[in-house]
Amino acid sequence: MNEFMMFSLVPLTVAIIISMTCALLGNFLVLRRQSLIGDAISHVALPGIVVSFLITGTLASLAMMLGAGVAALVTVVLIELIRRLGRVEGSAAMGVVFTSLFALGVLLLEWHGAGGVHLDVEHALYGNLESLIWFEGSGLGALFDPVALADLPPQLGRAAWVGLVVVTFVVVMRRPLVLASFDPDFAASMRARPALVDLLLVTLVAVAAIAAFEAVGSIIVIAMFVCPAAAARLMTNRLGAQIAWSQGFAVAAAVVGYLLAGEAPRWLGFEASLSAAGMIATVAGLILLAACLFGPCRARTGSAQRA
């Protein structure tokens, strides 16, 4: 139990919070067919962080998040510019922007890599979920001990804040959000400002992606934006139920994935620990696969039902 409190409680909680946050936003991304914006934003977090490091010289969380946030904003603006001014198809514009910025990030990183900076591509991709150790978490009592609580890894607090902000956004903005997701033209005619809602949604996606990026790496972020929401989409025809399903799937993926990463090698008989972030994302994908095969609402409406 003590071991669990110290090594697993915080990573597991962070993973669950971030999975739920990303999955919540993912519902709207999947409905709008914008799933890949999360992919683009998590790729450009790397150049953002590298540039912010080169400017400020620190790897402090605030500087990193600011850099990644600016990079996300730049990406969205660039994609829109290229799409509108160049009359390039949206997904192609996205592909141009995020690969180029990612290349810039890798180049800057390697250029200054000789300086012995602790920052590498793998770290950005895999995250360091396992390193969120709560040293004071020596037992159940620590949960009520203010001294021990003060020692909690700061990532937990940040993840919780971001989760809270995202939930507040979705609750407060639910009507315009739903309207803009299903029928932007109608939303515009109702003065629901679909463009503004779009921008807010993308901003929150960026905020969530960056908070998650720091704690769990970017692969889990992309997976959580898409997989639980897509799986939930195959389970029901109602948005409320879909959100509930997606939250359930996100929690299940986080818990099962985390446990599998820690325990599976031991079952197979060798002492090792697998990437928890990778395992969580893999489990999320497997959930989606199951939903694709057995989900009650998996068929396209209007298409022939096959037995």
Partner 1 sequence: MMETWWRALTFTLGYNTSLVTVGAMLLAAAAGMVGSFVLLRKRALVSDAISHSTLPGLALAFLVMGVWQGDGRVLPALLAGAAASAALGLWLVQRIGERTRLGEDAAIGAVLSTFFAFGVVLITVIQTLSVRGQSGLTGYLVGATAGMLYSEALLIAACAVGLLLALLVWRRDLLLLCFDADFARTQGFDTGRLDLLLLLLLMAVVVIGLKVTGLILVVALTIIPPVAARFWTDQPMRMVALAALLGALSGYLGVSLSSVREGLPTGPLIVLAAFTLFLVSFLFSPRRGVLASLLAYRRLRQRVHLRQGLLALGRDEPIFDGLTLKLLQRRGHVRRDGVATPAGLAAARDAEHEERLWALYRRRYPDDALHREHAGLTPIGQVLSADAIMALEAELPPAETAR
Footprint of partner 1 (CB under 8 A): 30, 33-36, 38-39, 43, 82, 85-89, 91-96, 99-100, 102-104, 106-107, 110-111, 113-114, 121-122, 125-126, 219-220, 222-223, 225-227, 229-230, 233-234, 261, 265, 270, 272-275, 277-282, 284-286, 288, 292, 295, 297-301
Q: Which helix (H) or strand (E) holds 199?
A: helix 194-216
Nearer to partner 1 among residue 207 and residue 216 (C-beta) = 216
245 class by beta-carbon count within 10 Å (0-12 exposed, 13-18 middle, 19+ buried): buried
CB of 145 to partner 1, least distance (A): 34
State the chain's maximal CA–CA distance in angstroms. Answer: 63
Nearest residue (CB) to partner 1, 107 versus 164:
107
Considering beta carbons, is residue 162 or 222 the nearer one to partner 1? 222
- Smaller CB separation from partner 1, 137 or 228: 228
CB of 86 to partner 1, least distance (A): 5
H helices of the chain, in order, are 2-3, 9-31, 36-56, 61-85, 90-111, 121-126, 146-150, 154-172, 174-182, 184-189, 194-216, 218-233, 239-268, 276-294
Cβ 161 to partner 1, closest distance in Å? 25
Q: Give the shortest CB-225-to-partner 1 separation in angstroms.
A: 7
Helix or strand run (H / E) with residue 74:
helix 61-85
- Measured from the CB atom, the residue of 95 and 248 that comes closer to partner 1 is 95
Cβ 169 to partner 1 shortest distance, Å: 21
Contacts 24+ apart (CB under 8 A), 186-190: none
Q: Which stretches within 127-183 are classed as H helix?
A: 146-150, 154-172, 174-182
CB distance 102 to 121 below 8 Å: no
Query: What is the distance between the alpha carbons of residues 47 and 70, in angstroms, rounded to a whole number?
Result: 10
Residues 6 or more apart whose CB falls under 8 angstroms from that of 209 comprise: 22, 38, 41, 42, 45, 68, 72, 218, 221, 225
Shortest approach of partner 1 to residue 85 CB, angstroms?
5
Least Å distance, CB 71 to partner 1, is 15
CA dihedral 296, 298, 300, 301 (to 10 degrees): 20
Pick 1 or 114: Cβ nearer partner 1: 114
CB nearer to partner 1: pick between 191 and 300: 300
